[in-house]
Protein backbone atom coordinates (compact mmCIF):
# COMPACT_ATOMS: atom_id res chain seq x y z
CA UNK A 1 0.00 0.00 0.00
CA UNK A 2 1.41 3.38 -0.95
CA UNK A 3 1.17 6.38 1.32
CA UNK A 4 -1.21 9.12 0.36
CA UNK A 5 0.17 12.66 0.12
CA UNK A 6 -2.52 13.95 2.49
CA UNK A 7 -1.81 11.09 4.88
CA UNK A 8 1.87 12.06 5.04
CA UNK A 9 0.94 15.55 6.27
CA UNK A 10 -1.72 14.29 8.67
CA UNK A 11 0.72 11.84 10.25
CA UNK A 12 3.40 14.52 10.48
CA UNK A 13 1.01 16.90 12.26
CA UNK A 14 -0.22 14.18 14.62
CA UNK A 15 3.34 13.19 15.52
CA UNK A 16 4.29 16.86 16.03
CA UNK A 17 1.46 17.08 18.59
CA UNK A 18 2.69 13.78 20.11
CA UNK A 19 -0.74 12.22 19.78
CA UNK A 20 -1.37 8.54 19.29
CA UNK A 21 -3.94 7.46 16.73
CA UNK A 22 -6.34 6.63 19.57
CA UNK A 23 -5.86 10.01 21.24
CA UNK A 24 -6.37 11.89 17.98
CA UNK A 25 -9.45 9.82 17.24
CA UNK A 26 -10.96 10.38 20.65
CA UNK A 27 -10.41 14.14 20.58
CA UNK A 28 -11.64 14.50 16.99
CA UNK A 29 -14.49 12.05 17.53
CA UNK A 30 -13.30 10.06 14.52
CA UNK A 31 -12.56 6.34 14.54
CA UNK A 32 -8.80 5.96 15.05
CA UNK A 33 -8.77 3.19 12.45
CA UNK A 34 -10.15 5.65 9.89
CA UNK A 35 -7.36 8.12 10.72
CA UNK A 36 -4.87 5.27 10.25
CA UNK A 37 -6.40 4.46 6.85
CA UNK A 38 -6.10 8.13 5.84
CA UNK A 39 -2.47 8.23 6.93
CA UNK A 40 -1.52 5.03 5.15
CA UNK A 41 -3.42 5.70 1.95
CA UNK A 42 -6.08 3.02 2.35
CA UNK A 43 -8.58 5.92 2.28
CA UNK A 44 -7.82 9.05 0.30
CA UNK A 45 -10.95 11.20 0.15
CA UNK A 46 -12.09 12.33 3.59
CA UNK A 47 -15.13 14.57 3.84
CA UNK A 48 -14.73 18.29 4.51
CA UNK A 49 -16.23 17.70 7.98
CA UNK A 50 -13.56 15.08 8.76
CA UNK A 51 -10.78 17.40 7.62
CA UNK A 52 -12.23 20.19 9.78
CA UNK A 53 -12.27 17.90 12.82
CA UNK A 54 -8.67 16.85 12.17
CA UNK A 55 -7.63 20.51 11.76
CA UNK A 56 -9.02 21.33 15.20
CA UNK A 57 -7.18 18.41 16.80
CA UNK A 58 -3.90 18.50 14.92
CA UNK A 59 -3.55 22.30 14.98
CA UNK A 60 -1.19 22.39 12.00
CA UNK A 61 1.28 25.23 11.56
CA UNK A 62 0.49 27.62 8.69
CA UNK A 63 2.66 25.72 6.21
CA UNK A 64 1.17 22.33 7.07
CA UNK A 65 -2.33 23.84 6.98
CA UNK A 66 -1.62 25.10 3.45
CA UNK A 67 -0.39 21.62 2.48
CA UNK A 68 -3.52 19.97 3.90
CA UNK A 69 -5.83 22.39 2.07
CA UNK A 70 -3.98 21.86 -1.22
CA UNK A 71 -3.79 18.07 -0.90
CA UNK A 72 -7.46 17.88 0.03
CA UNK A 73 -8.20 19.42 -3.39
CA UNK A 74 -5.55 17.33 -5.22
CA UNK A 75 -5.31 13.97 -3.43
CA UNK A 76 -3.45 12.03 -6.12
CA UNK A 77 0.24 12.72 -6.30
CA UNK A 78 3.72 11.98 -5.07
CA UNK A 79 3.89 11.30 -1.32
CA UNK A 80 7.70 11.41 -1.46
CA UNK A 81 7.52 14.97 -2.77
CA UNK A 82 5.27 15.88 0.17
CA UNK A 83 7.74 14.30 2.62
CA UNK A 84 10.57 16.28 1.01
CA UNK A 85 8.66 19.54 1.34
CA UNK A 86 7.86 18.86 4.99
CA UNK A 87 11.53 18.12 5.70
CA UNK A 88 12.73 21.18 3.76
CA UNK A 89 10.88 24.25 5.01
CA UNK A 90 12.77 26.48 2.57
CA UNK A 91 10.70 25.10 -0.31
CA UNK A 92 8.04 27.68 -1.12
CA UNK A 93 4.43 26.55 -1.49
CA UNK A 94 4.29 27.93 -5.03
CA UNK A 95 7.20 25.70 -6.07
CA UNK A 96 5.66 22.69 -4.30
CA UNK A 97 2.29 23.20 -5.97
CA UNK A 98 3.89 23.56 -9.39
CA UNK A 99 6.04 20.45 -8.90
CA UNK A 100 3.11 18.43 -7.54
CA UNK A 101 0.86 19.29 -10.48
CA UNK A 102 3.55 19.07 -13.15
CA UNK A 103 3.42 16.10 -15.54
CA UNK A 104 6.80 14.43 -16.00
CA UNK A 105 7.52 12.53 -19.16
CA UNK A 106 10.29 10.04 -19.59
CA UNK A 107 11.35 6.69 -18.31
CA UNK A 108 12.91 7.63 -14.99
CA UNK A 109 11.20 8.97 -11.93
CA UNK A 110 12.54 12.32 -10.79
CA UNK A 111 13.67 12.76 -7.22
CA UNK A 112 11.62 15.22 -5.14
CA UNK A 113 14.60 17.59 -5.13
CA UNK A 114 14.77 17.52 -8.94
CA UNK A 115 11.01 18.06 -9.20
CA UNK A 116 11.29 21.18 -7.02
CA UNK A 117 14.28 22.46 -9.00
CA UNK A 118 12.39 22.09 -12.29
CA UNK A 119 9.32 23.81 -10.86
CA UNK A 120 11.47 26.68 -9.58
CA UNK A 121 13.05 27.10 -13.04
CA UNK A 122 9.62 27.22 -14.67
CA UNK A 123 8.35 29.74 -12.13
CA UNK A 124 11.47 31.87 -12.57
CA UNK A 125 11.03 31.83 -16.35
CA UNK A 126 7.44 33.05 -16.02
CA UNK A 127 8.49 35.73 -13.54
CA UNK A 128 10.93 37.21 -16.08
CA UNK A 129 8.35 37.50 -18.85
Write the DSSP assignment of the chain as a string of letters.
Answer: -PPPHHHHHHHHHHHHTT--HHHHHHHHTS-HHHHHHHHHTS-----HHHHHHHHHHH---HHHHHHHHHHHH---S-HHHHHHHHH-TTS-HHHHHHHHH----SSSPPPHHHHHHHHHHHHHHHHT-
What is the number of structural domains in the chain? 2
**C-beta of residue 72 within 8 angstroms of C-beta of residue 6:** yes
Tens digit of each residue's pLDDT, the chain (129 residues): 578 999 999 999 999 999 999 999 999 999 999 999 999 989 888 999 999 999 999 999 999 999 999 999 999 889 999 999 999 999 999 999 999 998 766 667 889 999 999 999 989 988 766
Together in a domain, 12 and 46: yes
Q: Which pLDDT belongs to residue 108? A: 75
Read off the pTM. Answer: 0.89
Together in a domain, 64 and 82: no
**C-beta of residue 64 within 8 angstroms of C-beta of residue 13:** yes
Domain hosting residue 114, numbered range = 78-129
Together in a domain, 59 and 13: yes
Together in a domain, 58 and 87: no
Where is the domain boundary, 34, 51, 72?
Answer: 72
Q: Which pLDDT belongs to residue 67? A: 97
Q: Which pLDDT belongs to residue 76? A: 87
Together in a domain, 34 and 90: no
Together in a domain, 48 and 2: yes
Together in a domain, 26 and 47: yes
CATH number of the domain that residue 51 is part of: 1.10.260.40
Where is the domain boundary, 51, 72, 93?
Answer: 72
Together in a domain, 1 and 29: yes
Q: Which pLDDT belongs to residue 103? A: 72
Q: Which pLDDT belongs to residue 53? A: 96
Give the CA distances from residue 115 to residues 19, 60, 124, in Å, rounded to whole numbers and listed in that order.
32, 25, 14
Amino acid sequence: MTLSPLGVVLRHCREQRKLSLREAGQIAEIDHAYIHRLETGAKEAPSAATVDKLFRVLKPQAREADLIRFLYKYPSGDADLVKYVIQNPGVQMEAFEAAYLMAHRGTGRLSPEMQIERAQRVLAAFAHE
